[in-house]
Structure 1
């Protein structure tokens, strides 16, 4: 009898923590189609900005190969267009830095040894790359570190839209995209990384992140797979937006 009472108390405690009652199964988003459903999902586009994508940006000028970043943009624009068609929540992440957010450890991080400033507030480098243009119905979240969840309102924005699943993409796969995806998982979102809408400056780094995501954090999918999951959905794109 005592053991049965103990088990009941434990079940009730687990149910309270997880937010569901005994006798009612949790809604689990198991498949890619479920995790891409506009009822649950948001597209999170990370740092597709001039300094990270353009050859004239700080990454290109310090010798990084930005070819993959430039090449993935058409895939991303097509995905954004289709996401708008089905009414998916879209959030653009934009990095900016200034004297108000700089700290010694941040200023002297390894990637800045060349002395080139990156995404300084108000500069061309901090602007979105050509073709990336948010609409009034889409959100821009400003970040100052690698993760889009750290000291930003991203989590609040997603919770306000009842988002459970984040489709993460952008630049660089192994830095800001991966850090954002990891933190998203720590905040209990389902995470899907979009492989052909993300890019790193070395192929091995890009592939390493994708494998790590598959093993520990969520799903990896192509833009075509995600668009295919929306094929049967009606268009919700509002005219004039």
Structure 2
């Protein structure tokens, strides 16, 4: 089996919980697409096959010192009081139940690679293949897939474990990502290959 890391990205309460900050946007798509259930099943399959699991979370200190004020994506975080590390909002959704051996990668930008521990984790564990999913498809998944591709990793995206603000946004992002990664349904992935 290829040394594999399953990256579950930005599946935090602020974004995916039905009573979270994004309950009218991402959480709607997450529920309609069955993203949490599909991802929980994929995590169980990954563990059973011996793949490692990592969670990526976006978050900032209470005073938002790492938050870029000019960012169209993050400028509202401070105003809305979201993405504060150590709060319920930045915890991984309980349906996905991180375990003590899982990696926890905290980021302050869209990319899971930029100024995070991800690169060191991949190298230290001899990872060859990165299987990824997350919210949003056109944000962290798009950025992560492109960067992983350019670092010469095999990249697989679990399409049914991703969501955007709208179904159209998700599908447009997936169409673009097919140039950089294999796009599969989570039930079709052979983790042991």
TM-score (structure 1 length as normaliser): 0.72
* Aligned positions of 1:48-127 closer than 5 A: 48-60=11-23, 63-70=24-31, 71-98=34-61, 99-106=64-71, 109=73, 112=76, 115-127=79-91
Query: Which runs of 5 or more structure 2 residues have no equivalent in the other structure?
Result: none
Q: State which of 135, 160, 163 in structure 2 corresponds to 1:199.
A: 163
Q: Which of the two has greater helix per residue?
A: 1
On the 8 A contact 1:168/1:193 being kept in 2, the answer is yes
The 3 A distance-change label for structure 1 pair 124 and 201 is same
* 1:94, distance to aligned residue in structure 2 (A): 1.3
Question: Aligned partners of 2:39, 2:147: CA distance in 1, in Å?
Answer: 22
Segments of 5+ residues of structure 1 without an aligned counterpart are 1-36, 234-241
CA distance 1:222–1:123, shift in 2 (3 Å): same
Which of the numbers 125, 129, 145 marks the counterpart of 2:109? 145
Instruction: Give the deviation of 1:112 after TM superposition.
Output: 2.5
Q: Is the 8 A contact 2:92 2:98 kept in 1?
A: no
1:96-149 deviations in whole A, cap 9, x for unaligned?
Answer: 11222123213x547739942321122211111122222222111111111110
Distance 2:19 2:136 in 1: 16
Aligned counterpart, 1:24 = none
* Structure possessing the higher relative contact order (Cα contacts under 8 Å, 6 or more residues apart): 2
- Between the aligned partners of 2:42 and 2:82, the Cα distance in structure 1 is 27
CA contact (8 A) 1:58 1:117 kept: no
- The answer as to 2:183 corresponding to 1:225 is no
CA change 1:222–1:109 in 2 (3 A) is closer
Q: What secondary structure sits across from 1:220 in the alignment?
A: strand
Change (3 A) 1:158 1:114: closer
Tell me the equivalent position of 1:7: none
Q: CA deviation at 1:41?
A: 1.8
Cα RMSD (Å) of the superposition? 2.1
